[in-house]
Amino acid sequence: MKQLAQYQDGRLELQEVPEPALIPGGILVRTTCSVISPGTERMKVEQAKMSLLEKARARPDQVRKVLDTARTLGWKAAVEKVRNRLESPTPLGYSAAGVVVAVDALNTRFRVGDRVACGGAECAHHAEMISVPDLLAAKVPEGVADWEAAYTTLAAIAMQGVRQAQTQIGERVLVIGQGLVGLLTTRLLQIAGARVMAVDLNQARLETAKQMGAERVASADVANAVREWTGGMGVDAVLLCVGGQSTEVTAQAVACLRDRGTLVIVGMHDASLEWKTAFQKDITVRYSRSYGPGRYDTSYEWGGVDYPAGYVRWTENRNFEACLELMRSGQLDLRPVTTRRVAFGDVIQVYDRLEDEIGVMIEYCSPGFSRSVDQAPVSSTELPDRLKAGLQNSVATLDVIGAGNFVRTMLLPDLKGKIALGTVVNGTGLSARHVKEKFGFAKAATDVAEASSDAVIIGTRHDLHASLVLKALKAGKQVFVEKPLCLTAEELAEIDAAVAETSGSVMVGFNRRFAPAAVEMKKWLDEAPGPKMMSYHVCAGVLAADHWYADPVQGGRIIGEACHMLDFACFMLGRPVRVSAQKTGVDSVSAQVEFADGSTFQLLYSAEGDSAFPKENIRVFANGLVAECENFMKLTVWKNRKAKVTKHASKGHAEEMAAWLGFLKDGKPHPLPDAQSRQSMRLTFAVLEAVRRSSVIELEKHLLADGSDVGNENL
């Protein structure tokens, strides 16, 4: 299939990419129409054409992330991460319509053949096929054409802004900005019984605003026009439908409001209010978040967990349905805002003239779509596990399932040119094709069933790890899976059983034990007799609300990241026997572990603190020495009243890849036997159980062979 791709140097390409995989609980849609949003998409294209300095000025938040990466992983990794971002193509589009061609077994709302409107910058792209979760799609009623339904997402943005204004029949409302969303807002306000004045500098758009229901229009001297229109009172509400940042626009909006009026910011506008005027008028300021309640909530959008109507009457999906009903009834006429129709094959040329357009309709024709309507839904599973002392037959090629930025930055550069790369499987065809071209894979795909090599790397999100590992083990594959190995003790027990019956092997991405600083520290500790005392402090930082780690389905940060630290403790100190732990915040935990030789380990994993502080600090007290490690870049060992300092530049990713390749190709022993990975995961689950029970957990008694007595609490 074809998909529109944008590169960070401004290039646009129509690329041939693999068809997308079916999302669990979702639908696969053959696109018939999609709409270009000139404001949003023109901004993305213009930002892509900026120099690196201009990009840094425009996105200081991204600059801070780069600096954080450099501090924890080093400048080489930071630069590689930035380079990957700049080289990687990104999709465009977020409002589309089409026909359902496949439905996941968990979905009960849609059937093959349904016409649907789809939304979401994460899935409703300008592409011949799109894979959409349940609540980001709505059935198109009879009487609504596909080209009209393609506007649904954009109309829902306008509708949510109108709902935030809470206008009543007869109230006067000012809409500043008559781009596509502004014009749709004007029309929806008029449908709701409000009287609308439209403001824009473009006279042609003001003429369109009149067709969309504006009672008055203005391009200059807006304050006086409002004063005359309202008899000096001011408007009841202002909806700001412009992007960018301008104190003049915000000041104008406040000046036009009546006492205790409402300002709603609908577009991506960085508002700056003059305190005195806003205070004296006692105005209400509201931001309208995209399509409505549920937007950016992963449990709603991707988990299919709807909000009860009694508590949240208008979710983003119900806004979709309301917009489609207005189209069906004829109240929302979209012909005035549709300024161009273009075939998908000719779409690139349109982006050079977006400033002249309002709504650009892309029309698709995909008669050659290859997926059978009766084909079973695409599965989200596949891959291998087991460990041996050495392989009798070396592995010739390996596949990768889930090549996100981490895998592309930290793992694949150390494999390229050292082993033949077979198939790369990614969630979207666009990203799969990019990784294929960048690293020299033989094939790109979105279906894990197409991964057929004898070895595989699993770099997907955490909830898929266990199922992919199990499937791979049954196929006798050699597996490398990024941590965590699994999310529950039950899954761990299934993997244990599979390991005993397969010729394959499993290696978990516990890279810290392979870091040069860690290897050197272990040599020092092995030479010191007796038990040790180790503390591991992690300043993890606050997790963004929309980060995928925050999704409960992914297991939480303790399973997802703190397992690294617990594995490091096992690597250094041996067999854990007893653990207690306390939860001190949403993403913070304090754990104390006792080991078989009497050594003790304390983990302080905190989402609090200051981001300027080093992320990871390790300190060990042993017989006659003290060792301290900062971010695995600096190791200091005090012995015989002298301090020895060594500097390092790796957190172990390159070294673990080299060790695994030695196992796959050169007959060397497996670098991380499954018994060690299993021990670290069981310790992680015991920490969570200790939190839940508020008691000491005896691992020998608690961690049964089948894991049935281990809880599954997520932090």
Instruction: Say which range, 44-53, 615-624, 636-645, has the weakest mean pLDDT.
Output: 44-53
Percent above pLDDT 70 for the chain:
92
Nearest of 561, 565, 589, 587 to residue 576 by alpha carbon? 565
In angstroms, the CA 222 to CA 74 distance is 53
Confidence of residue 353 (pLDDT cuts 50, 70, 90): confident
DSSP-assigned letter for residue 112? T
Task: Tell me the pLDDT tens digit for each residue of 647-658.
Answer: 999 999 999 999
pLDDT in tens, 292-315: 999 999 999 999 999 999 999 999
Task: Provide the 10 A C-beta neighbour count for residue 629.
Answer: 25
Environment class of 196 (CB within 10 Å of its CB; exposed 0-12, middle 13-18, buried 19+): buried
Q: Are residues 167 and 189 in contact, defined by beta-carbon separation less than 8 angstroms?
A: yes
SS3 501: helix
What stretch of H or E contains 186? helix 180-191
What residues does 12 pair with on adjacent strands? Answer: 6
Lowest-pLDDT choice from 12-21, 483-492, 545-554: 545-554
Encoded tokens for 596: 């078989």
pLDDT at 54: 64
Peptide bond into 484 cis (omega under 30): yes
CA separation for the pair 247, 274 (Å, rounded): 8
Q: Which two tokens stand for residue 166?
A: 């809470």
Average pLDDT score over residue span 431-456: 95
Q: Contact 600/579 with Cβ under 8 angstroms?
A: no
Q: Which of 70-84, 129-143, 329-343 is the least confident region?
A: 70-84
Tokens of 583: 């939860």
Rounded to an integer, what distance in angstroms lies between the CA atom of residue 96 and that of residue 153? 8
- Name the band, by pLDDT with cuts 50, 70 and 90, for residue 58: low
Read off the pLDDT band of 387 (50, 70, 90): very low
Give the Cβ contact number of residue 226 at 10 Å: 25
Chain CA centroid to CA 324, Å? 28
Gap between the Cα atoms of 68 and 615, Å rounded: 9
Kindly give the residue spans of alpha helices, DSSP state H, lying in 31-109: 38-48, 52-58, 60-73, 75-87
* CA gap 706, 494 in Å, rounded: 8
DSSP string computed for 396-440: -EEEEE---HHIIIIIGGGTTTTSEEEEEE-SSHHHHHHHHHHHT
In this structure, what token pair is assigned to residue 76?
């080489």
Q: Which of 44, 159, 164 is nearest to 93 (CA)?
A: 44
Query: Encoding tokens for residue 423?
Result: 């198939």
Identity of residue 232: G
How far apart, in Å, are the Cα atoms of 36 and each of 92, 118, 266, 420, 618? 9, 14, 18, 40, 51
Output the CA torsion sign for 343, 344, 348, 353. positive
Amino acid identity for residue 619 in this structure: R
Rg (CA), the chain: 29
Residue with the two structure tokens 């005090």:
638
DSSP state of 306: P
Burial of 44 (0-12, 13-18, 19+ CB in 10 A): middle
> pLDDT-derived band of residue 423, with 50, 70 and 90 as boundaries?
very high
- Tens digits of residue pLDDT in 534-569: 999 999 988 887 788 888 889 999 999 999 999 999
Summary mean pLDDT of the chain: 89
For residue 625, list its beta bridge partners.
622, 639
Q: What is the pLDDT of residue 494?
A: 95
Give mean pLDDT, residues 14-22.
93
Question: SS3 of 604, please?
Answer: strand
Q: Give pTM, 2 decimals.
A: 0.81
What average pLDDT score do residues 454-471 get? 96
